[in-house]
Chain A
Amino acid sequence: MNPSYAKPTTPAAMATQSAQLSEEAYRALEDIVGAANVSRDAAVLDTYAFQWLAELVRPDQSHYMPRPAAVVLPGSTEEVQAIVRLANKYGLKVKPHGTGWYHWSGPIKDEDATLQLDMRRMDAIVEIDEQNMYAVVEPYVIAAQLQAEILPLGLNLNIPGVGCSSSIVASACAYHGAGPDTYYMGGNAENVLGMEWVTPEGEIIRTGSLGSGDGWFCSEGPGPSVRGICRGTLGSRGGLGVYTKCAVKLAPHFGQTEWNVEGTLPAYRLPVHENLRVYTLAVADWDAWAEIYYKIYDNEIGYIFHRQFNLAGADLSPAFWLMHNDASKTLSDVPEFVADPKIAELTEELRISFQLILAGRSRDDIELQDKILEAILDEVGGWKVERFCEQDMAEFTNVYLQRLGHKHINFVWAGGYIGSWMQFGTPDWVKGYVPTAAAGLERDAAAGKLVQCGGDAMMGSGSGIPLGGATGLEQFVSYDPDDYESTVAGIMHMEDAVKDAASISYPPGKEFLYLQIGWTDEQIWDALAHAKQPQAFHYQRQIKEAFDPNDIGDRMYPTLPEGYEAGS
């Protein structure tokens, strides 16, 4: 599996597109969407092939995934159906994306002729039903847009960890959908209601109550829930048809209905509403960390619950965030902040910390929640980190976590970031991998080819399932995608992380999913076959055979060939 790491002597090769689109097929696409909405210009295609993380999995660490055969911008469900039927006819792959932020948004195999569907023309908020607390959206509505529309109504929505720039339909139907809000608001898997799904055969399945013509409000049934076919822990990531609309359940919002952000960029501030509290809390050790999570779950306080700021690395985090909140400073100023003795103290104080926003429906309610939190802190020996609870940082934290529009900071150090680890489980289980994950990053960064921000650069939601009970910590490993050796160090870190996890009997983490994008089919099958219960992937093969008989979806919907077993 290891690529040769000798530095290539030639620049990234001109893509040789072995799988071409016939003229007939291209003209047919023009007929469907209009000539202005389809392109096969090489540079345009490259802008879809170019993807974050591609450099970690592609030959010669190319920053480009395979080029699509054409990019198509459908404007309606009917156009999507027509495109899908065309793909069936001409033996093409179909790969839809919303905002397209992940290397698997692009085509996966060089030898496939893939139609990249860019869903940006379908960007309507179809309906907001305030009374029944749901909204219906098309694929290019991003979370920021819907949140902005519903906050004045006293409603909010779960914004997944990727942030508010992401497509709601994509996270609800096609990927994961958990984040800092999930503990209170539900993840997008729990929140998705009716879905409009164009199957790989070009049929439309409308799930739940929608299919019966009774509206969007119920995702289950009739009888067994049809949505179970296409959306599990993860959705099909573009590999099993196209979602053209969905409804999502909304959540109550107890804060300001007028969104009046203040401050000077990038240090925007949102005043903390009197019904809210915005805290950065810390504990002394990882046992106490697990304890406090359990106590938060059991005491049912918390509206937004996330270990956010630690992504910058525990050694550098307070220096970075305080620098970032001074609009006159840049990364060049971080060393000065680090050298400040007060910040050194703060760094120690913040080592094992996380953010918690409380929301009360009334003054009595929020004051009671404050008391409950104090009691919990007392029990576990935790504390509120004073500097980060001061008005400026609290207001920054408030806008950061409520809107979740700073997710590009994941890349702030060097332009590249891998999320490794992030195995999902109980707090007791997750704390078990922290020391190994931290030591692994320290080790891998020691040679200076990755950002040295301390071994604990881990971020994660308080609970990735609603009501509490399951968390995960994602290691933020920063590399420079413009530096070959740094990119290779990133790849080696991913491979190390897989081994490190195995060494403590933990399953591999997120990096394993990333690495697979660059594998051959056989390598992936081998990995799937070694899953503890590979039968899931055999069932998925059968589901694919039933719903995608002409194989127009790619392997982002993973399957195992019939009869394939570990050691095949």
Chain B
Amino acid sequence: MALTDYRADAMRCTRCSYCKWIPFDLVKSHQFAKGCPSIEAGKFHAYSAGGKLVTALSLMDGRSEVTDRVVDVAFKCQLCGNCDVACKMCRYDMEPILALRELRAHLVEMDRVPESYRPLIERKRAALAGKGPKTPADRNAWAEGLGLKDPAVEPVDVVFYAGCKYSLEESLRETVRTQVRLLQLAGLTVGLFENGCCGGLADKMGYRDEAAEAGARMLKQWADAGVKTVVTPCADCRHTFTRVYPGLDGAPADLPEILHTVELTDRLVKDGRLELTTPVPLTVTYHDPCNLGRQGEPYQVWEGVEKKIYGQAVVYDPPRPRHNGANGVYAAPRDLLAAIPGVELVEMERSREATWCCGAGGACREAFPEYSAATAAERVEEAASTGAEALVSACSRCELNFAEAVAADAASGGPAAGMQVHDVLELVALSTGLREEAS
């Protein structure tokens, strides 16, 4: 892949600015019409997806050089995918999010990255080389006492992959343990490998080699153990497994079924294997994580060529699958919430494919903490506007960002003060009686 693969996308950008907004059909207010955190913070057109495309074109055309501003434009972006959804409302020939990722990879190859990236990627590289502060065994400390099996040697129903945040963040410990216990409560045998990062963060940062290395290891692990189903509570990891892994060199034709824990839990509830009987009287609003929602739909790797029909109409041979956010995981978390007695769901205006990013994605939580926090603050303000008591989601990074944003908002006397932040499955656990208190 090369940046020039997306030259046509840039040339066919019409500068319509749809990428800056949620799909217009869904706009319900002045305040919550915006869709792109990058341009909201960066302000210049360059920060929008269309602007990033033209930035790439300008570089490709030799009209400009990589400056600190260009680096900021390319990397101060959660890769949330709003642009991809909005553009594809009307277009079948544009792949904004892929182009944006390619621009990053291109700049990484030139070693033109934000300074805040360097310690991050060093840590990832060290972990890959087995030289990180946390070993794979350390990463599984959260699972102590849960009786998880080694899938390499024992048959399991599902392999659980926690992801870096759930593995290592103390504040999320109870949440991840609850998720496993829910699966066990439903009668599943849950397996856990010793392994490292899925490579997702490296991939989002543009470090494809590192991501490929991590991916290759994971794929081998699964293949060797004949894994059929992988379940993860991390929306980012799920995204990596479903969007990145299939395109890696040497990836098998059939990967295991990849599920987010909300998907699996929803199935279990619908199959009657989990009963939600204890009322949880709470008004909630649900935040669709970008990587579970619009970036979480079934994904097919495509290789082919562009061809023209009717003279100049752009199509693809073979036909290119359409990934426009239509088929993301929107229903499962909502069905779960609906199944919990006492829970009342109030939707934010920007929901489903039009969700406003939590701010954490695309390595922004790590690399641009102020920007990440500002993005989250916008979202918790929107959550507060619904009147809901709790903001719930299904992603560790979203929940971390929101918890911090709520605290910051409370400190300044804002509207989100007192708002609770939960994972969907915590509420499910309460309703099964598995837990008595949400964390």
User: Do A and B touch (CB < 8 Å)?
Assistant: yes
A-side residues, CB < 8 A to B, are: 11-15, 36-37, 39, 41-44, 46-48, 50-52, 63-64, 71, 73, 99-101, 118, 120-121, 125, 141-142, 144-149, 163-165, 259, 261, 264-266, 268, 270, 316, 327-328, 330-335, 399, 403-409, 411-417, 445, 448-453, 478-483, 486
Interface assignment of B179: CB less than 8 Å from any CB of chain A: no
Other-chain residue from A144, A408, A486 in contact with B312 (beta carbon distance below 8 A): A486
- Among B163-171, B214-222, B250-258, B320-328, which stretch is in contact with chain A? B320-328
B377 shortest CB reach to chain A, Å: 18
Q: Which residues of A contact B311 (CB under 8 A)?
A: 445, 448-452
A408 and B16 form a contact (CB under 8 A): yes
A14 and B67 form a contact (CB under 8 A): no
A259 to B29, CA, bound (A): 10
A333 and B319 form a contact (CB under 8 A): yes
Most buried by B among A46, A165, A334, A407: A46
B70 and A43 form a contact (CB under 8 A): yes
A414 and B16 form a contact (CB under 8 A): no
B63 and A479 form a contact (CB under 8 A): no
Other-chain residue from B63, B93, B310 in contact with A46 (beta carbon distance below 8 A): B63
B29 and A145 form a contact (CB under 8 A): yes
B25 and A479 form a contact (CB under 8 A): no
B89 and A144 form a contact (CB under 8 A): no
Q: Which residues of A contact B129 (CB under 8 A)?
A: none
Q: Which residues of B contact A145 (CB under 8 A)?
A: 27, 29-30, 33
A65 to B133, CA, bound (A): 52
A408 and B89 form a contact (CB under 8 A): yes
- Among B39-47, B112-120, B145-153, B426-434, which stretch is in contact with chain A? B39-47
A272 shortest CB reach to chain B, Å: 15
Given contacts A148-B33, A482-B11, contact A265 B45 (CB under 8 A): no
Q: Which residues of A contact B91 (CB under 8 A)?
A: 408, 411-412, 415
A11 and B30 form a contact (CB under 8 A): no
Q: Report the nearest B residue to A445, measured CB to CB.
A: B311
A12 to B21, CA, bound (A): 30
Given contacts A120-B43, A148-B33, A449-B312, contact A42 B65 (CB under 8 A): yes
Given contacts A148-B29, A164-B24, contact A415 B14 (CB under 8 A): yes
CB interface residues, B 11-67, toward A, < 8 Å: 11-18, 21, 23-30, 33, 43-46, 50-51, 54-55, 57-59, 61-65, 67
Other-chain residue from B59, B69, B309 in contact with A335 (beta carbon distance below 8 A): B309
A478 and B312 form a contact (CB under 8 A): yes
Q: Report the nearest B residue to A411, measured CB to CB.
A: B14
The 20 listed contacts between A and B (C-beta, < 8 Å) are A11-B61, A43-B46, A63-B11, A63-B57, A71-B45, A144-B24, A144-B33, A145-B33, A164-B24, A265-B85, A266-B89, A331-B93, A331-B309, A404-B24, A405-B24, A413-B313, A414-B314, A451-B312, A481-B11, A482-B11
Q: Report the nearest B residue to A266, measured CB to CB.
A: B89
Other-chain residue from A46, A335, A417 in contact with B55 (beta carbon distance below 8 A): A46
Interface assignment of B301: CB less than 8 Å from any CB of chain A: no
B28 and A148 form a contact (CB under 8 A): yes
A445 shortest CB reach to chain B, Å: 6
| B contacts with A, residue count (CB < 8 A) | 66
Given contacts A11-B62, A265-B324, contact A334 B309 (CB under 8 A): yes
B289 shortest CB reach to chain A, Å: 18
Other-chain residue from A328, A405, A452 in contact with B23 (beta carbon distance below 8 A): A405
Other-chain residue from A120, A146, A481 in contact with B12 (beta carbon distance below 8 A): A481
A381 to B63, CA, bound (A): 59
A165 and B25 form a contact (CB under 8 A): no
Q: Which residues of A contact B90 (CB under 8 A)?
A: 266, 406-409, 411-412
A416 to B8, CA, bound (A): 12
Most buried by B among A44, A264, A448, A480: A44
Other-chain residue from B16, B85, B322 in contact with A101 (beta carbon distance below 8 A): B16
Given contacts A265-B325, A403-B25, A407-B16, contact A125 B63 (CB under 8 A): no
Interface assignment of B102: CB less than 8 Å from any CB of chain A: no
Q: Report the nearest B residue to A151, measured CB to CB.
A: B28
A484 shortest CB reach to chain B, Å: 10
Interface assignment of B88: CB less than 8 Å from any CB of chain A: yes
Given contacts A48-B45, A165-B24, A265-B89, contact A414 B15 (CB under 8 A): no
Given contacts A41-B67, A73-B44, A331-B93, contact A266 B88 (CB under 8 A): yes
A268 to B428, CA, bound (A): 32
A332 to B18, CA, bound (A): 23
Q: Which residues of A contact B88 (CB under 8 A)?
A: 265-266
A149 shortest CB reach to chain B, Å: 5
B17 shortest CB reach to chain A, Å: 5
B30 and A46 form a contact (CB under 8 A): no
A408 and B310 form a contact (CB under 8 A): no
Q: Which residues of A contact B30 (CB under 8 A)?
A: 125, 141, 145-146, 148-149
Q: Which residues of B contact A261 (CB under 8 A)?
A: 25-26
Q: Which residues of B contact A50 (CB under 8 A)?
A: 13, 15, 54, 57-58
Given contacts A37-B43, A335-B309, A486-B312, contact A165 B324 (CB under 8 A): no
Interface assignment of B7: CB less than 8 Å from any CB of chain A: yes
A135 shortest CB reach to chain B, Å: 10
A403 and B24 form a contact (CB under 8 A): yes
A403 shortest CB reach to chain B, Å: 5
A446 to B18, CA, bound (A): 32
B312 and A414 form a contact (CB under 8 A): yes
A432 shortest CB reach to chain B, Å: 27
Q: Which residues of B contact A36 (CB under 8 A)?
A: 43
A289 to B309, CA, bound (A): 31
CB interface residues, B 374-420, toward A, < 8 Å: none
A39 to B58, CA, bound (A): 16
Q: Which residues of B contact A480 (CB under 8 A)?
A: 12, 308, 312, 314
A12 and B63 form a contact (CB under 8 A): yes
A359 shortest CB reach to chain B, Å: 19
A164 to B89, CA, bound (A): 14
A332 to B302, CA, bound (A): 14
A495 to B55, CA, bound (A): 31
A415 to B313, CA, bound (A): 9
A15 and B45 form a contact (CB under 8 A): no
CB interface residues, B 286-318, toward A, < 8 Å: 308-316
B299 shortest CB reach to chain A, Å: 15
A486 to B314, CA, bound (A): 12
A177 to B171, CA, bound (A): 54
B292 shortest CB reach to chain A, Å: 17
A316 to B310, CA, bound (A): 10
A8 shortest CB reach to chain B, Å: 12
Q: Per-residue 0/1 for B190-222: is the Cβ within 8 Å of any A Cβ (1 yes, 0 no)?
A: 000000000000000000000000000000000
Other-chain residue from A52, A327, A399 in contact with B25 (beta carbon distance below 8 A): A399
Q: Report the nearest B residue to A323, measured CB to CB.
A: B92
Q: Which residues of A contact B236 (CB under 8 A)?
A: none
A489 shortest CB reach to chain B, Å: 8
Q: Report the nearest B residue to A45, measured CB to CB.
A: B64
A101 to B50, CA, bound (A): 12
B62 and A14 form a contact (CB under 8 A): yes
Interface assignment of B95: CB less than 8 Å from any CB of chain A: no
A265 to B327, CA, bound (A): 9
B9 shortest CB reach to chain A, Å: 9
Interface assignment of B337: CB less than 8 Å from any CB of chain A: no
Interface assignment of B128: CB less than 8 Å from any CB of chain A: no
Given contacts A52-B15, A141-B30, A144-B21, contact A39 B69 (CB under 8 A): yes
A297 shortest CB reach to chain B, Å: 29
Given contacts A42-B58, A145-B30, A148-B30, contact A52 B14 (CB under 8 A): yes
